[in-house]
Amino acid sequence: MTTRLEACSSADRGEYYRTAFGLALSIDARISIPGLGQSPQAAAAAPPSRVRLDADGLSRRWKAITSLPERLRELRFNDELLLSVDFAEPAGYLMWARDFGRVLISPDGIELLCEPDPAVEHWANILPFQALPLAATIRGLEVLHASGVVLGGSAVLVTGPPGAGKSSLAAALVRAGGQLLSDDAVALQLMDGVLIAHPGSAVLQLRAAEDARLSAEQRVVLGRAASTVEDKQRYISDHSPEPAPLGGLFLLERSDEEPAAEQLAAVDPFELIASTFNLSVRTPVRLRRQLDVVFAIASGGLAHRLRVQSGVNATQLAATIEAHLAAAI
């Protein structure tokens, strides 16, 4: 672990290129982030966001701030602080997460400097789960808290409260032939009136109980089995799909009735706004974009309600979605 701290202060030792959340990424070779896209076209299309291990640089920049830090976000559980985001000029957004460390994201989202917690092996998980979605939001994409797959050339997203079964449903949709966009966050981009869904991290995390119900053949379809994190079995896909037009956003809702999907003629816009991922960036440009994306989902007839019973079989739900989409076409 000492070597990692030394590495933080040493010179750059190389980089590799990936894509995620609509961003081209240049990543310090000492940082391992599995499940990111490898599209060379995307990497060439935009200036990359650079992800670097640089604890010294982070500290230096944060010490040089010229404004009082503004606390933009706190995430707590039982009064215990788990995550915070502060902003100060000219350094940018300082994200801290317990058991992960700190990431400083420049005001333009181009540079991410990492100071990992040396005691935590999986510290880099903060990047795809929190820091990269924030950088994507800064750089002009709208990230939804949703799982999603590409099915039949279109992106199918599922959003709902924590524990509603988004990951299980994404896994079932992958088993039905879909390609995983993400099981946690997907970036949307409004291009010429069309919403394009960009993959996040193609790492699927299934609860142990859900994983135990799968056969060996079903697990293979989900990707490489990796280590468990917090009682969740992780599967990593090495083949992140290309961005795809949004075909539907399904809003999960608990119900006592049989699983059913319906297209929402009059979706509650605030329910859609609540599904957006990042509340730290509240610039006028971002707020306007957030409203435009939500409006495009609603006016495009892309919002659907998916009613689910507690404990319902994810495979059955995936079939409900497939049948609903087929009927809509």
Partner 1 sequence: MQIVPQLSDQELLETRVRLPQHVVHRGFVAETVVLNLRTGKYHGLNPTAGKMLEALDAAPTVADAVPLLAAEYGIEQEQIQRDLLPLARALLGRELIVAANDDTA
Closer to partner 1 by Cβ: residue 167 or 275: 275
DSSP three-state, residue 311: coil
Neighbours of 238 (CB within 10 A): 11
Q: How far is the CB of 144 from partner 1 (least distance, A)?
A: 17
Nearer to partner 1, 237 or 280 (CB): 280
CB of 172 to partner 1, least distance (A): 31
Residue 270: CB minimum distance to partner 1, A: 7
User: Should residue 163 be labelled a site residue for partner 1 when binding is judged by CB under 8 A?
Assistant: no
User: CB-wise, 81 or 279, nearer to partner 1?
Assistant: 279
Total residues at interface with partner 1 (CB under 8 A): 17
Burial profile 211-233: b = 16 or more Cβ within 10 angstroms, e = fewer = beebeeeebebbbeebeeeeeeb
DSSP 8-state secondary structure symbol assigned to residue 134: H
Instruction: Tell me: does residue 274 bind partner 1 (CB under 8 A).
Output: no
Which amino acid belongs to residue 249? Answer: L
Whichever of 163 and 193 has its CB closer to partner 1, that residue is 193
Rounded Cα–Cα distance for residues 200 and 21 (Å): 5
Shortest separation between residue 138's beta carbon and partner 1, angstroms? 16
What H or E segment, with its residue span, contains residue 320? helix 314-328
When binding is defined by CB under 8 A, the residue of 209, 266, 326, 329 that contacts partner 1 is 266
Helix (H, G, I), strand (E, B) or coil at 224: strand
Q: Which of residues 278-317 bind partner 1 (CB under 8 A)?
A: 282, 284, 287-288, 291-292, 294-295, 298-299
- The site map against partner 1 for 85-124 (x = CB under 8 A) is ----------------------------------------
**Shortest Å distance, C-beta 280 to partner 1:** 12
DSSP result, 62-113: HHT--S--EEEEEEEETTEEEEEEEEETTTEEEEEETTTEEEEE-TTS-EEE
Structure tokens at 115: 């100071």
Give me the residues that bind partner 1 (CB under 8 A), please. 265-270, 273, 282, 284, 287-288, 291-292, 294-295, 298-299
